Structure 1
Amino acid sequence: MTPAVLAELVRSSAVQVLTARDLDHAVLPAVVTIERPRNPEHGDYATNLALQVAKKVGLPPREFAQALADEVAKADGVESAEVAGPGFLNFRLAADAQGEQVRQVLAAGERYGTGDALTGRRINLEFVSANPTGPVHLGGTRWAAVGDALGRILAAQGAEVTREYYFNDAGAQIDRFVRSLIAAAKGEPAPEDGYAGGYISDIAAEVLRQEPSALSLPEAERHETFRRIGIELMFTEIKQSLHEFGTDFDVYFHEGSLHESGAVQRAVEQLKESGRLYLADGAWWLRSTEFGDDKDRVVIKSDGAPAYIAGDIAYLQDKISRGFDLCIYMLGADHHGYIARLKAAAAAMGQDPGVVEVLIGQLVNLVSDGKPVRMSKRAGTVITMEDLVEAVGVDAARYELTRYSVDSGIDVDLDLLRKHSNENPVYYVQYAHARLASLQRNAADLGLKPDAGAELGLLTLPQEGDLIRTIDEFPKIVRKAAELREPHRVARYLESLASMFHKFYTVAQVLPKGDEEATPLTFARLALCDAARQVFANGLQLLGVSAPERM
């Protein structure tokens, strides 16, 4: 019996209790909340329904709770229903009813944990979008891990997700990048406002290899040559780094295309015609304060050049024209102002501001030997994705960056992530999966295999019940992670599942020893272990982390 089935049972029982007393059952919530008690001794599951409803129907909470307990206890699969405190209800399920969860996992396989909460939603998920002026830094690396995991989780709930990278190939940073390349090609120091680091020299040398006469070209042509080749080289490297990190995109959208196609101009004219723009001090301003922004924003500067927000508006308009009903932007810690700005832009275009959702990620620091790591081999003072991966590997990097809420800054302890011990969270979770895979292999060597028809009612140890109930929580965890855009919930859940598995494995003998014969309990425990392994595999897949068979 799943919590969802128990919730329906409790609600239908509450309807019967209230109807029998000629009381209005319309006060009952549509969905009854069923939770696991903090103290396992209180039962398998609990609800506060009586406390929610009793006063509304004029009954003492404990009286209503007791009547409800008596009704629920009649159902098959419920071992007991008891009133606690001022009116809480605690339930214990019969072992065979609880074991049905194992059967459901085995039947669903890779689909276990998926749902349909977002079916029909078309979501544009934009993340990383690092400037093509240098390698992906730590902030972008965090978004590469979290964004990719979030895309997987949203898709697991039925959404049609398009992962998009906004390629900032227009603006002042590109000019600084090009001037830095030219300086390096000449053997000169980087401009004061330019970019330094070994990667600049590498790219400059490659430009000269492809165009040996680039430095002797007229200034404008030279600038364009270094811009064209340099950006392509840098962006190719960025895409390759992301691919090796396990993060790929469906769309690479070029900012420059918005200007070249006239999309920016059309968006500006549309806003002028609607009265959403006004002229002041020679510039055109968006009336963004009318839509919740803290100030009006300049869209066209007094010199006639578009401000950055002009591209943002055209870009959002383009996304909406492609049929997306939700546009999620994953931005860095210095972009808080974009939340109100982008929502105001949506409203100014006549869209529901809810079409825009902005997630802000906080800073990431590397720590080794208890001290901050500040120097990069290739990029000077900027720590890059390659630096982190070289230090701890892709799996550890992705898992560590995903296991924290993006609202919080994190210190990544490189020494901890290199350890092959339970102190290392990713090792702890992956080792649990590898241990279960090893158990499967050993069972196969004995001619044994998990059996969906096993007598699961034999799983009566407290540790078996705890493991089953933890397995049962997985779909709810994934659904909540999608709803709140919080992939870290999946990582933390897997750590809890690993803890429950290790506690079970300490007390429960799974395989026969020596000349012992396999018993019905053997097959029940093998089925439980196979279900646990499946959940580890499914959870790690959602995070883009491997589920090793051996460690």
Structure 2
Amino acid sequence: MAHAPATDIFATLRAEVVACLRRLLPDLPDDALARVLVEPPRDASHGDMATNAALVVAKPARLAPQKVAADLAAALAKLPMVAEAAPAGPGFVNMRLRESFIHAQVPLLLRAGEAYGTSAVGAAIPVNVEYVSANPTGPMHVGHCRGAVVGDALANLLSKAGYAVTKEYYVNDAGAQVRALAYAAYWRYLQALGTTLTEEEYSAQVPGGLQYRGEYLIPVGAALQAEHGDALAPGARPAFTEDTLATVQRVAVRMMMAEIREDLAALGVEHDIFISELKLVQDGVADRAIAELSAKGLVYEGVLEPPKGKLPDDWEPRPQTLFASTKFGDDVDRPLRKSDGSNTYFANDIGNHADKIARGMRQLVQVWGADHGGYVSRMKAATKALSDGAVPLDVVLCQIVKVLKDGEPVRMSKRAGSYITLRDLIDEVGRDAVRFTMLTRKSDAQMEFDLTKVVEQSRENPVFYVQYAHARCRSVLRQAGDPAADALAEAPLDALTDSAEQALLRRLVAWPRVVEAAAAAREPHRIAFYLGDLASDFHILWNRGREDATLRFIQAEQPEATRARLALVAATATVIRSGLAVMGVTPVEEMR
């Protein structure tokens, strides 16, 4: 039986479910159908698809969910692509699809190539994905690495789901941390000049003491000395003038950002745009955003309640300029000005988000460290206020990564002085292993990154397991002379009757739905999980062929069965490459 082709069988089935509901319940309002889902059931024994349609339309239809489910199942069972449909539980319908409908997707997959799974669900909506955004005060470390990988993969995922994505790095080059960087870089400059001061003597003269002591600032000091000679250090004592510190800060930030870009490039991360906090401040973006909020009646002078718990010794009630963030779900209103009249960090961040909205972004996605979790509600409140609720902000939090080797904690980097650098990690295990491994856990779960295990050639290592599946696929196809995808797309698939072959087919055609669901949830780790399951299905079939000669991929005496199995192998390799592209990982042709 012939079936109309579809690039996303879940979207196809959902459209059929909605059409059936419209015929069964013609008076049903359109908004009642918005929450209808078609997804794989949690238990594969229940079928290929499950829908919640009866549950979500029963109330507006004023019918019992079980009644709607029974009628809907009867209607769905008449569809040419459905082999069986049955009501289940309090109002679900489970469906089993005809093999011919599954088979019809394989030619589409092969002809689409790695573009298979690309969706239009994003409707080219402009989405800004801001990630990494590390203070330019030192080399990238392993914590930044996780955020960089998660953010980059998420941006790739949203692009594949059809959004118009801008990858952004927000440079925190204003405020106390970069001022501390300037003091540290100035110390390295004095060293380059041959100062007789000791580090501790210098630190005693720095407000708050010397914070950054890593060797990575030695080249900055040398560059300042080469460019300015001794002009920045008149007399025997450090010259902590505003002009001198501004010069030092500018050079230090420029050199740190150049190094950060190099580190990110080594990780395969390239941003579309870099936005300077300092420039936004100088351009008055934050002040204009605060004025806009004020015009909406959301800025006022007030006194906050004291912090809950033990009262700090230096706390005193005083009038402050406050943003009424509690009107948008925050737990307290937030200060916008410091006691000296300058902007708070939050105020500058409001300017950052106002700038994104002004540039036409209609969704904002940001990847932060878990230690910024308490900042989420206030930033969502500000974004909602700035956009009148039109531009949502999604924040993805990344937990810390503990680096181990053979199960033992790894010593800190000598160059950085206090942490393991991103470059250390890449040099040890390679870019692809770093990227893949960082996506093997949900971002808000803590992770142990064992340098030994991520290069281990075993089933327990998901990086190896998925790459090995692709390498095996390519080995089979090379052995067959690398047949063209168009030729394999014409192969009749009736020979694919074994349960392992059918399981692999069903996994392959689920890829478009995985892309859409992972993008909607902002969870790129789902791609790694899916590829692990796909690799497992393929390895099972490979091993079945070793045990049963009739299941081997290439059989000279069975040319049609061979073509069918080669189509299955090519489809598997294609989807693995498609998934790895989202993760930013290069597929391997053979294992060495």
Q: TM-score, structure 1 length as denominator?
A: 0.89
CA distance in 2, matches of 1:492, 1:421: 17
Post-superposition offset of 1:275:
3.8
SS state of the match for residue 523, structure 2? coil
Is 1:469 the counterpart of 2:506 in the alignment? yes
Post-superposition offset of 1:45:
4.1
Kept in 2, the 8 Å contact 1:101–1:468? The answer is: no
Between 1:427-436 and 1:200-209, the stretch displaced more is 200-209
Which residue pairs with 2:339 in the alignment?
302
Kept in 1, the 8 Å contact 2:131–2:148? The answer is: yes
Where does the alignment leave 5 or more consecutive residues of structure 2 unmatched? Answer: 4-8, 192-197, 204-208, 303-317, 546-550
Is 1:239 the counterpart of 2:281 in the alignment? no
Is 1:201 the counterpart of 2:218 in the alignment? yes
Q: What's the Cα RMSD here?
A: 3.1
CA distance in 1, matches of 2:359, 2:527: 31
Deviations 1:376-422 (A, max 9, x none): 13111222211211222111111111222222111112111021222
Deviations 1:468-520 (A, max 9, x none): 1101111111101111110011110000000011112222444435xx33421
Kept in 1, the 8 Å contact 2:110–2:485? The answer is: no
SS state of the match for residue 304, structure 1? coil
Matches within 5 A, 1:361-510: 361-444=398-481, 451-508=488-545, 509-510=551-552
Between 1:281-290 and 1:431-440, the stretch displaced more is 281-290
AA aligned opposite 1:438: S
Which residue pairs with 2:272 in the alignment?
250
Matches within 5 A, 1:7-18: 7-9=14-16, 18=24
AA aligned opposite 2:278: G
Post-superposition offset of 1:102:
1.1
Post-superposition offset of 1:95:
3.0
Between 1:351-360 and 1:38-47, the stretch displaced more is 38-47
The change in CA–CA distance for 1:501 and 1:145 in structure 2 (over 3 A counts) is same
Which residue pairs with 2:308 in the alignment?
none
**Aligned pair partner of 2:379 in 330, 342, 355:** 342
Between 1:50-59 and 1:237-246, the stretch displaced more is 50-59
CA distance in 1, matches of 2:92, 2:350: 52
Matches within 5 A, 1:67-466: 72-81=76-85, 91-187=95-191, 188-189=198-199, 191=203, 192-213=209-230, 216-217=233-234, 219=239, 220=241, 221-280=243-302, 281=318, 283-349=320-386, 351-352=388-389, 354-444=391-481, 451-466=488-503
Kept in 1, the 8 Å contact 2:384–2:392? The answer is: no
The change in CA–CA distance for 1:454 and 1:139 in structure 2 (over 3 A counts) is same
Is 1:525 the counterpart of 2:565 in the alignment? yes
Post-superposition offset of 1:433:
1.1
Equivalenced residues, count: 544
AA aligned opposite 1:279: E
Which residue pairs with 2:576 in the alignment?
536
Post-superposition offset of 1:363:
1.3
SS state of the match for residue 323, structure 1? coil
Post-superposition offset of 1:233:
1.0
Deviations 1:159-186 (A, max 9, x none): 1111111111111111211111222333
Post-superposition offset of 1:347:
4.3
Post-superposition offset of 1:200:
2.1
CA distance in 2, matches of 1:275, 1:49: 43
CA distance in 2, matches of 1:356, 1:86: 35
SS state of the match for residue 324, structure 1? coil
CA distance in 2, matches of 1:116, 1:334: 35
Between 1:411-420 and 1:295-304, the stretch displaced more is 295-304
Kept in 2, the 8 Å contact 1:125–1:162? The answer is: yes
SS state of the match for residue 199, structure 2? coil
Post-superposition offset of 1:287:
2.5
Kept in 2, the 8 Å contact 1:185–1:205? The answer is: yes
The change in CA–CA distance for 1:484 and 1:64 in structure 2 (over 3 A counts) is closer
Kept in 1, the 8 Å contact 2:110–2:570? The answer is: yes
Post-superposition offset of 1:82:
5.9
AA aligned opposite 2:104: E
Between 1:468-477 and 1:348-357, the stretch displaced more is 348-357
CA distance in 2, matches of 1:163, 1:374: 33
CA distance in 1, matches of 2:478, 2:156: 29
**Aligned pair partner of 2:588 in 545, 548, 551:** 548
The change in CA–CA distance for 1:29 and 1:352 in structure 2 (over 3 A counts) is closer
Which residue pairs with 2:309 in the alignment?
none
Kept in 2, the 8 Å contact 1:122–1:325? The answer is: yes
Deviations 1:301-351 (A, max 9, x none): 222222112211222221111111122222212212322222232344463
Kept in 1, the 8 Å contact 2:183–2:210? The answer is: no
AA aligned opposite 1:427: F
Kept in 2, the 8 Å contact 1:450–1:530? The answer is: no
Between 1:256-265 and 1:84-93, the stretch displaced more is 84-93
Post-superposition offset of 1:214:
5.0
CA distance in 2, matches of 1:114, 1:447: 21
Where does the alignment leave 5 or more consecutive residues of structure 1 unmatched? Answer: none
Percentage of pairs with the same residue: 40
